[in-house]
Chain A
Amino acid sequence: MTTLTEAAEAEHADPAVPRFYRVVSRREDTYDTVTMELAAQADPLPLFAPGQFSMLTAFGIGEVPISLSGLGSSGGDGGGPAALRLQHTVRAVGAVTRSLCAVRPGQLIGVRGPFGTGWDLASAIGHDLLIIAGGIGLAPLRPVLLAALEDRSRYGRLVLLVGARSPADLLYPDELEAWRERGVEVAVTVDRPGEGWQGNVGVVTSLLEPAAPGANQTTAFICGPEIMMRYAAQALIALEVPTQRIQVSLERTMRCGAGWCGHCQLGPLLLCRDGPVVTYDRASELMRIREL
């Protein structure tokens, strides 16, 4: 006979079974994007690394991969230590993400993970760190920027280039300001300026020239639409940044996160296992081939 606890542990050991986390806070970032903080009910999942992702379940609706956008900001109050709390930033684009964005504090969300590879921040030690984000792509980059700021002295310049479709789509505007104050060189551009926009207009690669990363000593992390990542990587290569020092976070359909469903293949890569963060020396040829 297995005891109830043993049975519960066995189930928790099953990576296909979500653990239900409570929504402890919810913030509307933009008209379609919400950041939520989740606290474990019982035993929390192992510590997530920046760049890794969760599979989030909206009860009875479905499950989607969502990157870690931060570790907990607060602890105590029965929800476990802050580092084991998860922040996720979700953009409502379909049935599941809409349902996740509609959650209220106090409600429960299923979580599985951590899955996939993280940003290799250790490889950037002693280098300038250049972070390039497009749209929701800023969410997976936020925790790695925060980690670099925690350990500021180990890196050279910290440069963050952000592209958004319009000013209304810009994620974390208050935090961008706070990061600027902490010494991050932040530059923002939009595709479509609205009324009163004073800043840059154009693709995010247009910010590279002014930011002028010094060649041989830059490590770059890029996340955004695939075409933007390719252009950004090619621009960096033109600036003589070696391809293995460029890391990109790739997106494909994922049903399981655990290497069983076969959906996230990109050539030899299973992106839930060998990605989502991949160095560009591996990714570039695979990203070049149409419909791979």
Chain B
Amino acid sequence: MQQGSNPGVVTVCAPEPVVIGVDALPALFSALRAWGYTVVGPTVRDGAIVLSELESAAELPYGWGVETEAGQYRVRRRSDTAAFGHSAGPQSWKNFLHPPRARMWSADRTADAVTVSGAGEQPRYALLGVRPCDVRAIGVLDRVLSHGQHADAVYSGRRDGAFVIAVECTEPGATCFCASMGCGPDAQSGYDLALTELVDGDDHRFVARSGTEAGARLLAQLPQRPADDATVHKAQAAVKRAATEMGRAMPEVDLPRLMTESRESPHWDDVASRCLTCGNCTMVCPTCFCTATEDVTDLTGDHAERWSVWDSCFSLDFTGMHGGEVRVSGQSRYRQWISHKLGTWHEQFGSSGCVGCGRCIVWCPVGIDITQEAAALAALRPPSVLDAAGGETADAEAVGIKED
């Protein structure tokens, strides 16, 4: 995620910020569309601020905010006209970069051969209004789906073609904790263009800075003025203040170690008594990437396709093997999810799997809160966890899967 989103584009160092008025947003849309991008951004629909393909800047959620709490989400009218005055909604950018259903290939069989064609060309998205935590989440997905030993063609195609416009956070929600994850509220890298929104009555403007050459070229096309020190300071102060206004914080402990040492914590029984294993948290999380595959054929049986579909570690058949599932209990499935997010992700992909966006807290039907569960595990660790862990067991049951 250190690199800009357009490969081969050199990152511009310390670009001078400029100020663009809210009336520059239509020009921004036109420029992006002229470059062949489909713009994706926030808009109000069905009582939520969702991410959607947008035709024009008029569709942005001007004057709308949200109220969030564990298990609760409501849009509300703001007293100003801010377009990005809301915290995360039910979707994230993964819906576009790593779509819920994607065709991996299709194949046709004749008497003597099979011809296969791959995922093919992917749409080019300009992602508008990406929160710094979500910029980081895209970087997390990059490491999983693009920068490993093998690159996922659908994700990499969409990611390489994407243009990222970050909007820094000045009004975090009650469920936000990106500051404690080191993932916001300021945008540090991984964007083409970064905006900070300022609204003072009718004076509705953005401090804008480019992160890549493509971002600089886009910015050059917009009506603008140089940023005066007062405006820049005002924007910076608003972002700085946001860091202190997060509704939640992750406990300051060595999270990977906490997760490893909590593998046999009694707390899993407590979470499992509340968790419905519905998987909502994995669907809304901007970094949860797990997929299953579905093979389908047409009626002749000679045309086959493979689709990748989002899957969740909360579903029982996620670990289904011949002989049974590995993670049968709700305890083990919640443990897998939170341990992966906060712990094993580091070893697997070199970063945390959680960026502190708070979505999983909001969209959990029973309000399970990852920060509180981590705090509960931390509180239990010494010395009760050691007691509960017991000695080395080599019983057949410990394997947890049926043998044949």
Contact = CB atoms under 8 A, between A and B. Distances in A.
B322 A225 contact: no
A173 interface: no
B392 A63 contact: no
B392 A288 contact: yes
Nearest to B155: A260
A15 B328 contact: no
Interface string A215-229: 000000000011110
A137 B313 CA distance: 27
A273 B348 CA distance: 10
A233 to B, nearest CB: 10
Interface string A59-74: 1111100000000000
Interface in A195-251: 225-228, 230-231, 234, 251
Nearest to B115: A20
Interface stretch (B102-110, B161-169, B207-215, B223-231): B102-110
B289 interface: yes
Interface string B247-283: 0000000000000000110000000000000000000
Given A234-B394, A263-B290, A268-B347, A258 B149 contact: yes
Contact of B403 (A226, A258, A261): A226
B195 to A, nearest CB: 32
Contacts of A289: 263-264, 398
B48 interface: no
A112 to B, nearest CB: 10
Given A60-B304, A260-B145, A263-B319, A291 B328 contact: yes
Nearest to A288: B398
B26 interface: no
Contact of A230 (B113, B296, B347, B399): B399
Given A18-B116, A20-B116, A288 B394 contact: yes
Contacts of A62: 293, 295
Interface of A is mostly: loop
Contacts of B375: none
A23 interface: no
A1 interface: no
Given A14-B153, A62-B293, A252-B326, A263 B119 contact: no
B109 A59 contact: yes
B362 to A, nearest CB: 23
Interface in A105-130: 108, 110
Contact of A290 (B118, B301, B398): B398
Interface in A53-111: 57, 59-63, 93-94, 97, 108, 110
A59 B114 contact: yes
A268 B327 contact: no
Contact of B393 (A18, A267, A273, A288): A288
Interface core residue of B119, B321, B399, B403 (most chain A CB under 10 Å): B399
A199 B42 CA distance: 71
Contact of A93 (B104, B117, B289, B322): B322
A256 B294 CA distance: 11
Nearest to B291: A261
Nearest to B312: A262
Contacts of B116: 11, 17-20, 110
B287 to A, nearest CB: 11
Contact of B118 (A17, A20, A228, A259): A17
A260 B107 CA distance: 22
Contacts of A287: 399
Contacts of A268: 343-344, 347-348
A259 B113 contact: no
B53 interface: no
Interface string B370-394: 0000000000000000000000111
A20 B107 CA distance: 10
B169 to A, nearest CB: 29
Contacts of A256: 291, 293
A259 B318 contact: no
A59 B95 CA distance: 29
A227 B339 CA distance: 24
Contacts of B107: 59, 110
A184 B318 CA distance: 40
B295 A291 contact: no
Contacts of B347: 268
Nearest to A289: B263
Nearest to B298: A60
B213 to A, nearest CB: 26
B397 A290 contact: yes
Contacts of A291: 326-329, 331-332, 400
A135 B326 CA distance: 20
A11 B326 contact: no
A292 B105 contact: no
B245 interface: no
A258 B399 CA distance: 25
B396 interface: yes
Contacts of A255: 291-293, 311
Contacts of A25: none
Interface string A279-291: 0000000011111
B404 interface: yes
B152 interface: yes
A61 B295 contact: yes
Nearest to B268: A291
Interface in A5-32: 10-11, 14-20
A11 B327 contact: no
A105 to B, nearest CB: 14
Nearest to A291: B332
Given A260-B152, A287-B399, A291-B329, A230 B118 contact: no
B320 interface: yes
Interface string B300-333: 0100101010010100001111110011110110
15 contacts: A11-B116, A11-B117, A17-B105, A20-B116, A59-B109, A60-B304, A62-B293, A110-B107, A227-B403, A230-B394, A251-B321, A255-B311, A260-B152, A262-B311, A291-B331
